Amino acid sequence: MTKTAVEPVEPLRELLKEARPRGPVTLHNVARLANVSAVTVSRALNEPGRVNKKTVQRVLEAVAQTGYVPNLLAGGLRSARSKLVAAIVPSISGGVFAETIQHLTGALARKGYQLLLGQSGFVEGGEDALLDAIIGRRPHGIVLTGIMHSAEGRRRLIASGIPIVETWDLTPTPVDMLVGFSHERLGDEVCRFLVRKGYRRIALISGDDMRARRRHEGFCRAAISENIAMPEVELVASPTNHQKGRLALARVLSRCPDIEAVFCGADALAMGVLTEAQVRGISVPSQLAVVGHGDLNFAATLHPSLTTVHIDYERMANEAAQFIFDRAEGRAIKNRVLDIGFSIVERESA
């Protein structure tokens, strides 16, 4: 190209400079390139319906050309809508919570929200430590695994004004909203189920968390009303796994060789129990019945297949997300507590 220098030398230079700035590309660079104002770019991107089609087109081209990616920190700051939802789980590994998180992430993504993940690690006060870091990001909602027990934590959550959904449990006094099921009732029903099947000497193997304790309470109450012996309880440290299930059954058998059935607080434990029984030549269910909790994907295809308690994780996650969406979009919430229940899935092991 020959140097036939026509007029707009400076403007062009400036335009190019704006189009490919040193630093990160901003709304203004895009606006300059598309020959509109910054607000128009913002609107073209966020509510295209309210902007002229041709303008939107021009903006989109400028975006493509510059590689502009909106700064969500800035947008979130100004609009007080971070498009972020936080979740706190005890631990992501170990099966059950991963399932919830997976569905939650999916439900959120479908609405353009992202998930901020925190792990409280089964420690007392683990949740509290995460709270400031989470509240500080001004998420649209916080999903807790289990109910928040620390008074200080509850206070801070309430003070934050952020929609809170507690899950995996039921309580008459939720911090805000809740979607879960009754562990007490679950323990109760499993007990009656086993009694109905003819088992009377039953052991309980669980992680040492609060929800397990409540299942045990329910179980014991039912045991009394059904007139059978109190169950033999064996607690293992959370998080639970296959090995702990094996060891737990070994300990239970050494104390009570005549046990007829085991109710495990997690399918991973139940799988361990199944393995230990197999190794010892104890036939399931004829010599020992086993019931799990969680209905993880392997439960149906183990051999013998595992009788277990099914919880609809996907629904729990979706309802939790829905609670938050409803709040974010200003819809009234009729019922802040949702009991999604559970069901005992009868298979070969009991």
Q: Per-residue x/- marks for DNA, 15-54, CB under 7 A?
A: --------xx-xxx------xxxxxx-xx-xx---xxx-x
Peptide bond before 285: cis, by omega within 30 degrees of 0? yes
Q: Per-residue x/- marks for DNA, 65-104, CB under 7 A?
A: ---x-xx--xx-xxxxx-----------------------
Residues 170 to 229: which contact a second copy by CB under 8 A? Answer: none
Q: Per-residue x/- marks for a second copy, 291-320, CB under 8 A?
A: ------xx-xxxx-----------------
- H or E segment at 118? strand 114-119
**Which partner from the list DNA, a second copy, none does 272 bind, CB cut-off 5 to 8 Å by kind?**
a second copy
Tokens of 70: 């909106």
We find the least distance from the C-beta atom of residue 284 to DNA, in angstroms, to be: 58
* Dihedral angle, C-alpha 254, 259, 263, 268, nearest 10 °: 40
Q: Are 245 and 268 in contact (CB under 8 A)?
A: yes
Q: Is 133 near DNA (CB under 7 A)?
A: no
End-to-end C-alpha distance for the chain, whole angstroms: 84
Q: How far apart are CA 144 and CA 186, in angstroms?
A: 20
Q: Are 306 and 268 in contact (CB under 8 A)?
A: no
Q: Is 152 near a second copy (CB under 8 A)?
A: no
Amino acid 292 reads G
Q: How far apart are CA 287 and CA 297, in angstroms?
A: 25
Amino acid 169 reads D
Q: Give the footprint of DNA on this chain (CB under 7 A).
A: 23-24, 26-28, 35-40, 42-43, 45-46, 50-52, 54-55, 68, 70-71, 74-75, 77-81
Q: Give the footprint of a second copy on this chain (CB under 8 A).
A: 24, 67, 69-74, 76-77, 82, 84, 91-94, 98-99, 101-102, 105-106, 109, 112, 114-119, 121, 130, 132-138, 156, 159-161, 241-243, 246, 268, 271-272, 275, 278-279, 297-298, 300-303
